[in-house]
């Protein structure tokens, strides 16, 4: 299979494939203290809890928009049939969540009021800006005020 050329448009799909991904479904982070992490994502970032699992596989699912969820699982949630069973994945670098255009300074104030150290706003070559903050487990969360895609075309976020 040949590698498709870079489209720049982050909604692009590979025309050579009969089936292709349609977007992020879930991102799961392993967290040391489930309650502390849930408090950060709910109270500081304002995510909405959509489901909570109890023992023997505790975990919490939070909406990150467009039918995608962030899962928070303590290490004991692993086991047969679970994605983190046995082996672990590679190092996590960061994940990004869209922020409403023009809202980054408000986000920065909110995060700093919650006692979080915030990097940014960082301006990228295409003019988009982002903030970066660590969650309680050291995972880096990017809040992106992205108004154009990788090709410089306007981002379509009809659900904003």
Q: Is the pLDDT of residue 147 over 80?
A: yes
- Fill in the DSSP letter of residue 59: E
- Is the pLDDT confidence value at 157 over 80? no
Confidence of residue 75 (pLDDT cuts 50, 70, 90): confident
Q: Are 57 and 82 in contact (CB under 8 A)?
A: yes
The token duo for 152 is 């410089």
What pLDDT shows up at residue 14?
Answer: 67
pLDDT at 76 over 70: no
CA-CA distance, 56 to 21, in Å (whole number)? 32
**Residue 83 pLDDT > 80, yes or no?**
no
pLDDT digits (tens, 9 = 90+) for 89-133: 555 668 889 898 899 999 999 999 999 999 999 998 788 999 999
Identify which has the larger pLDDT, 2 or 12.
Answer: 12
pTM given for the model = 0.74
Of the pLDDT bands very low, low, confident and very high (cuts 50, 70, 90), residue 3 is: low
DSSP state of 44: I
Q: What is the CA radius of gyration of the chain?
A: 17
- pLDDT tens per residue across span 127-139: 899 999 999 999 9
What structural domains does the chain harbor?
A: 24-75 (3.10.180.10), 94-152 (3.10.180.10)
């Amino acid at each position: 299979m040949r590698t498709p050329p870079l489209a720049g448009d982050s909604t692009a799909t590979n025309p050579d494939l009969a089936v292709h991904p349609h977007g992020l479904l879930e991102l799961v982070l392993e967290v040391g203290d489930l309650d502390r992490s849930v408090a950060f994502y709910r109270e500081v970032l304002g995510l909405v809890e959509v489901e909570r699992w109890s023992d023997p596989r505790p975990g919490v699912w939070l909406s990150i928009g467009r039918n995608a969820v962030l899962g928070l699982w303590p290490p004991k949630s692993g086991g047969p049939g679970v994605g983190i069973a046995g082996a672990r994945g590679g190092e996590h670098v960061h994940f990004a969540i869209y922020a409403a255009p023009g809202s980054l300074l408000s986000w920065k104030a909110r995060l700093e009021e919650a006692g979080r150290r915030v990097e940014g706003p960082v301006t990228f070559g295409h003019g988009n800006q982002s903030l970066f903050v660590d969650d309680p487990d050291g995972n880096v969360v990017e809040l992106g005020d992205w108004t154009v895609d990788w090709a410089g075309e306007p981002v379509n976020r009809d659900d904003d």
